[in-house]
Structure formats: C-alpha cells, structure tokens
Amino acid sequence: MCGIVGYTGPRDVGEVILNGLKRLEYRGYDSAGIAVKTDEGIYVQKRKGRIDDLSEEEIPEHDAGIGHTRWATHGKPSDKNAHPFLDCDEEISIVHNGIIDNFNTIKDRLIERGHEFRSETDSEVIVHLIEEEYEGDLLKAFKNVVKKIEGSYAIVVFQKDSNELLVARNQSPLVIGIGSGENFVASDVPALLYYTKEVKYLRDGDTALISRDEVKIWDENDEAITRETKTIDWDVEDAEKSGYEHYMLKEIFEQPKAIHESILGRLTSFEDVDFSKYDFDEVQFIACGTSSHAGYVGRYIFEKLAEIPSTVEVSSEYRYTSPSDSTPFTILFSQSGETLDTIAAAREAKRRGCNTLAVTNVMESSITREVDEVIYTQAGPEIGVAATKTFTTQIIILYLLAIELGLRKGVLSKDKAEEYKDELRKLPRKVERILDDKNEIKEMTESLVKAEDIFFVGRNINYPVALEGALKLKEIAYIHSAGYPAGELKHGPFALLTSETPVIAIAVKDHTFEKMLGNIGEIAARDSPVIIVGDEDKELKKLADLSYFIPNTPPIFSPVLVNVVLQLIAYYTAYRLDRDIDKPRNLAKSVTVE
Ligand code: AGP
C-alpha cells in the first residue's frame, strides 16, 4: 500500500532513504516525502508525485531520518497529504503504512484539545497523539499511542533531539535491517539489500527501538523479546532491472529460472506440508486478482491429477458468504502475503474450522502467521506491479501439490506421476523458446494498440488463462479487455464484436479443441480480427488473422506456456502505448486495505 524506510547511522541519510524508497515504489507512488533530523530541527520535503520528483540535493546530510512513498487511501494525493507528518510543535515526525480505523474519533478529540491538522489523512492523528502523550519519554508515549489506535499500521517515528527510531507493526509489514554501527527499517527487503542482508522481521503487536548500535523489541504484551536474525539470499541484482527497460520484462524473462527454483528439490520429495495431518477430500482456493486466477487453474489441475473436487472464491467475497457444514482444505494464494482481503479470508476459513495453507512468495509475510502450513514460491523479488513470475510459480506449486495428493490418494500411478514430473522439468526450456520469439510476439501487438475493447477466450483449463490475459492488458495497457469461456460469447458479448474488436483465442488440443474451433469460426464470421495462441494446427491457421503456436506440451501444462505469450502481448501493447508499465495508474503491488 505504502512504502516506508528509516535509517540511523553515519551514511548520507537522504541517499539511503531515497534509494530505499525507490525500491519500494511498487508499493505506492502517488506522493513521496522524507524527514531528516538536523541541528536546527526536523527538515521535511514531501510532495505529490514520484520519488524522483524529490530534490536530493536539498536534503541536509545528517544521521537519522524517515521516508515514505504513498498509495492514497484517506485524502487524495497532494503535497499536504504526503508523509511524513509533524506534530504541532514540529518536534516529532512519523510515517505510516496502513489504515487507522478509529482516526475520526481520535481526530475530533485532538482538535478539541487544540491540535492543528494539516492533512486529510488518517495517519496524521498518530503524530498528534504522540505529542499529546509525550511527557519527556518518547518510547513511553509511543507505546501508549499504539494501544489507542485500531487498524493496520507500520509506523516509524523520530524526534528532533535523538537519532533513535521507534517503530510498531500491526498487519502491515516491517523489517529491520541490521548493520554495523547503523540500522535500517523498511516495509520490504529490497529497500535494504544495498546495505545489509541481515534482517529481523517484526510480528504483529511488536514495537521496537532502533539506534545505531542496537535494536530492542517488545511484543504485544510489552515483554522484551528477541526476533531471530535471518539472512536474505536475494542479491541486489535480483531487485534491480539488470539492463531491462522495465521490471515487468525482466520478471517475465526470469520465469525459466523461477520455475526451475520452484520445482528444485520438490520433485524427489515434496516435504513442504505434513500431508498426513490433513483431509484433502475437498479443497477451496481463495485469492485476489492474478492470484485468484491461479486458483481457477488449480481447480482443473486438482480435478485431473488428484481427482479432488475444488471451488474458487475471491477473498473479498468469501468472508461474506454463509458458512456451510463442509470444511474444505483451504489454499490461499498471495504473492505478497500482505493482501488484507486474503488475510481476512484466511482468518475466516480458520474460524469456520478449515485447515489452511498459504502459497506466497514473501518470507515471513503476514499471511504466513495466519495459516497452518506455508509453501513458498521461489520466484525471487517481484517489483513490477503486474504479477508475472509469481503467477507462474503459483501454478507450478499446484502441479506439485496435485501430483503428491494424487499419489497419496492412489488415483495417480507412480509411472504417470513420473511422466508429469518430466513434463514439469521441461517447462523452463519451453518458456525460454517462447521468450526467444519475443520480437515475433511484439509484432502481433501492432494491431492491438488501436483497439478500445479486446476479448480473450479460452476453454477448460485455459479459460482462467484468458481471464489473466485480459487482466494483464487492462492493468498495464489501459485497454478495456474481458476474459470469457469461449462458448459464452454467443450468449451476449457477440453484440460487441466488430472489425474493430480483436479477439485473442487460446486453442490447445485438449478434449474441447473441436468446440473451440467452432467458437473461433463464429467469431471470425463476425469480422473480428482473431489472434490465436495455442497448439499448431492447420484449421486454426486458416481461421487466424495472426497466430503464435506454443512448444508442444500436454494440455494440462499449456497454461504456463500460453500465459507467457499473453504476458508478452500485454507488455508490448503497453510499451507501444508508452504506458507506465511498472507502476500503472491507481494501482499498488500489495493491497493492504479491504
Ligand atoms: C496482478 O497483476 C495484480 N497486480 C493484482 O491483481 C494482484 O494479483 C492482487 O492484488 C493479489 O495480490 P497478492 O497475490 O499479493 O495477494
């Protein structure tokens, strides 16, 4: 939602904070700001716009400071609503990520007591509350404030006379970077990688005091505790563009490696979950956005490989459904592990008596503490707002899970399982072949940039891939697009088909292929330009205006390959339209509001 960074140490604080914020820009990018301790008081620079709009030269060199990159929730993007905020006397400064649910009541009370608010945000109440509580001991005041606020927060505070940072977290991520004679804090690891790989993840309810030489942490009961120091195995380059024009393109090209890493060690024995503890007779997948599309693909994979019936729920809806007697094993997908809708759904599933498993890409992310089991996709950091390699690896995890469950249930023979595993091993090379054809795929997008509406159609396991292709195009190219089961267009959307409405049709040679041929014929007869992505076929070629044929693969594995083609189509269409590909308007990488 928002990204925060704090630093105390001998380096140039402006450089450390701006550098860190740039690595967190995927979390929000409608305004940015920095506050630095100086001998004269607190220096603040903040404005609507990107981090690059801040003037680094103007930031005084000093030894402590905090910074923020924002994705607006309360109060539209503007200079005054940008963080950091100061108290009335301009002696304390804070940055906040999250939402303070009870801010209205607190604000009214503070206004009555004479506090002057300078923004429309919920966050500003925090700094005035600290001012109100402060009687010479900032830590004590801060801890009192944390007890009074409700909602989600990651907060960093400092005071003009000290180079210590105070932090607190509840349902918004915060990680402390451990240095030598210096320490850091940030919303996410990429902001720290330049300086340290040693980190401590804070838990919900934790508060901490960070000085140059030590980190003290207290848990929700105010007991002093230690949180384990972990070593991050990501390199700085993993979180850099490495010569690619956009993170999204880099992340698309990292997919062969990401698939390889995700299957590594899991093909011989898949020990991430203690399967014997749970009942897998029925499964439900819960997630948002792209991650929910992984769930829809999962339904077909589970039915085919493990004969397990499954349903898919969008997280934001699941909580409001009526509980039934059944308690399906619940698999929640969230690449960030911070999506509040999905975290809330995990809690609800647990409340209803379901066992839960989270599939996430981010170590120690919030969702990992809400579930019985966790599987990490090994995709490496994903910075582009559009999910690419994390979606692919979520699907890889689904194959691995379904093979394991199929074997355990006795519905999948060992030989068949080995066959499937062999196909998984071949996927990275096949994805590489598609990536080698990037120029050919780029050419195909020439006709798409003029379109106002684009349809994506698929059948069976490739229907969710059509949904994902449409989401990606909407998200980064800003072209209205919709994914449909191919058989559904004739039930309404046909009315929209004209020679100006391209249809991207996914056609693989599974049991629905003949029907798909018929559907594509009907579309072509309405004069819509047809772009086919799928298995090579003479009949398809005749119907297509443009086509791209994927490397030969069993239909059950085709979503991985088809989706890479659709990612490239979305990327190059957005590129031709000169869109802000890594930071599409109005979006953020992790959505920590409901
Ligand atoms: C994907 O391109 C989107 N940015 C978005 O739909 C995303 O998948 C969704 O917000 C869920 O995020 P999560 O996987 O981190 O929970």
For 447-479, how does the pLDDT look when each residue is reduced to its tens digit (9 = 90+)? 999 999 999 999 999 999 999 999 999 999 999
Would you say the CB of residue 35 lies under 6 angstroms from ligand 1?
no
Residue nearest to ligand 1 atom 8, measured at CA = 290
Residue bearing the bigger pLDDT, 546 or 324: 546
Would you say the CB of residue 365 lies under 6 angstroms from ligand 1?
no
- Model confidence at 147, in pLDDT bands (50, 70, 90)? very high
C-alpha of residue 386 to centroid of ligand 1, in Å: 7
Q: Which run of H or of E encompasses 310?
A: strand 310-314
Region of 114 (left: φ > 0; alpha: ψ -120 to 50; beta: rest) is left
Q: Are residues 231 and 275 in the same domain?
A: no
What amino acid is encoded at 285 in this protein? F
Closest CA to 452 of 430, 436, 474: 474
Would you say the CB of residue 590 lies under 6 angstroms from ligand 1?
yes
Whole-angstrom Cα distance, residue 300 to residue 296?
Answer: 7
Whole-angstrom Cα distance, residue 32 to residue 206?
Answer: 26
Res 325: pLDDT: 84
- Model confidence at 71, in pLDDT bands (50, 70, 90)? confident
Res 475: pLDDT: 97
Q: What is the pLDDT of residues 429-442, one digit of tens each?
A: 999 999 999 999 99
Contacts of residue 493, defined as CB under 8 A and 6 or more positions apart, other chains included, come to 455, 482, 484
* 162 inside domain: yes
Whole-angstrom Cα distance, residue 17 to residue 367?
Answer: 27
Would you say the CB of residue 387 lies under 6 angstroms from ligand 1?
yes
* 302 inside domain: yes
Which atom of ligand 1 is nearest to 289's Cα? 6
Q: What's the token pair of residue 108?
A: 């009214």
* 582 inside domain: no
- How many angstroms separate the Cα of 274 from the Cα of each of 135, 261, 361, 376? 52, 21, 20, 15
Q: What is the pLDDT of residues 173-214, one digit of tens each?
A: 899 999 999 999 999 998 999 999 999 999 999 999 999 999
Whole-angstrom Cα distance, residue 178 to residue 176?
Answer: 6
C-alpha of residue 584 to centroid of ligand 1, in Å: 13
Say what angle helices 289-301 and 463-477 make with each other, to 10 degrees: 170
- Model confidence at 588, in pLDDT bands (50, 70, 90)? confident
Q: Are residues 336 and 361 in the same domain?
A: yes
Res 201: pLDDT: 94
Mutate to test the pocket of ligand 1, among 246, 318, 339, 571 (most ligand atoms within 8 A of CB): 339
Closest CA to 208 of 189, 181, 227: 227
C-alpha of residue 67 to centroid of ligand 1, in Å: 25
* 431 inside domain: no
Which of these three, 196, 211, 241, is where a domain ends?
241
Which atom of ligand 1 is nearest to 475's Cα? 2
C-alpha of residue 559 to centroid of ligand 1, in Å: 18
Q: Are residues 170 and 288 in the same domain?
A: no
Q: What is the pLDDT of residues 76-85, one digit of tens each?
A: 889 999 999 9
Residue nearest to ligand 1 atom 7, measured at CA = 289
* 54 inside domain: yes
Region of 98 (left: φ > 0; alpha: ψ -120 to 50; beta: rest) is left
Would you say the CB of residue 360 lies under 6 angstroms from ligand 1?
no
Which of these three, 218, 241, 264, is where a domain ends?
241
Contacts of residue 341, defined as CB under 8 A and 6 or more positions apart, other chains included, come to 288, 315, 316, 591, 594
Q: Are residues 415 and 446 in the same domain?
A: no
Which atom of ligand 1 is nearest to 335's Cα? 14
Would you say the CB of residue 402 lies under 6 angstroms from ligand 1?
no
The boundaries of the domain holding residue 518 are: 437-576
Q: Are residues 480 and 378 in the same domain?
A: no
Residue nearest to ligand 1 atom 16, measured at CA = 334
Given 3-state DSSP classes, what are the helix, strand and coil percentages for the chain, each rounded to the nearest 5? 40, 20, 40
Is the whole model's pTM more than 0.85, yes or no?
no
Residue nearest to ligand 1 atom 6, measured at CA = 289
Q: DSSP assignment of 55-113, as one string?
A: -GGGSPP-SEEEEEEE--SSS-S-TTTSSPEE-TTS-EEEEEEEEETTHHHHHHHHHHT
Q: Are residues 292 and 419 in the same domain?
A: yes
Closest CA to 368 of 393, 401, 335: 335
* 97 inside domain: yes
- Model confidence at 103, in pLDDT bands (50, 70, 90)? very high
Whole-angstrom Cα distance, residue 191 to residue 32?
Answer: 15
Residue nearest to ligand 1 atom 4, measured at CA = 386
> Given 2, 160, 389, 430, which residue is catalytic?
2
- Model confidence at 73, in pLDDT bands (50, 70, 90)? confident
288 is catalytic: no
CATH number of residue 422's parent domain:
3.40.50.10490
Fill in the DSSP letter of residue 358: E
Cβ neighbours of 552 (radius 10 Å):
12
Which of these three, 393, 426, 459, is where a domain ends?
426
C-alpha of residue 291 to centroid of ligand 1, in Å: 6
Would you say the CB of residue 528 lies under 6 angstroms from ligand 1?
no
Res 364: pLDDT: 84
C-alpha of residue 56 to centroid of ligand 1, in Å: 32
Q: Which residues pair with 238 in a beta bridge?
A: none
Where do we find the tokens 């598609």?
Answer: 434
Q: Are residues 451 and 516 in the same domain?
A: yes
Counting every residue written for the chain, the total comes to 594
Q: Are residues 63 and 187 in the same domain?
A: yes
Fill in the DSSP letter of residue 322: P
- Model confidence at 324, in pLDDT bands (50, 70, 90)? confident
* 274 inside domain: yes
Would you say the CB of residue 59 lies under 6 angstroms from ligand 1?
no
Q: Are residues 321 and 216 in the same domain?
A: no
Fill in the DSSP letter of residue 164: -
Which atom of ligand 1 is nearest to 471's Cα? 2
* 91 inside domain: yes
Average pLDDT for residues 400-414, to the nearest whole number?
96
> Total structural domains in the chain?
3
- Strands laid side by side in the 373-376 sheet: 310-314, 283-287, 329-334, 356-360, 373-376
Q: What is the pLDDT of residues 349-391, one digit of tens each?
A: 999 999 999 999 988 888 999 999 999 999 988 999 999 999 9
Would you say the CB of residue 290 lies under 6 angstroms from ligand 1?
yes
Res 412: pLDDT: 97
User: Given a cut of 80, is residue 115 above it in pLDDT?
Assistant: yes
Res 457: pLDDT: 98
C-alpha of residue 414 to centroid of ligand 1, in Å: 35
Q: Are residues 445 and 369 in the same domain?
A: no
Q: Are residues 394 and 519 in the same domain?
A: no
589 is catalytic: yes
Which atom of ligand 1 is nearest to 342's Cα? 16
Q: What's the token pair of residue 282?
A: 């029925």
CATH number of residue 93's parent domain:
3.60.20.10
Which atom of ligand 1 is nearest to 360's Cα? 14
Would you say the CB of residue 591 lies under 6 angstroms from ligand 1?
yes
Secondary structure (3-state) at 135? coil
Q: Are residues 22 and 77 in the same domain?
A: yes
Please count the helices (runs of H) and the strands (runs of E) in the chain: 16, 25
> Given 37, 46, 200, 589, which residue is catalytic?
589
Would you say the CB of residue 469 lies under 6 angstroms from ligand 1?
no
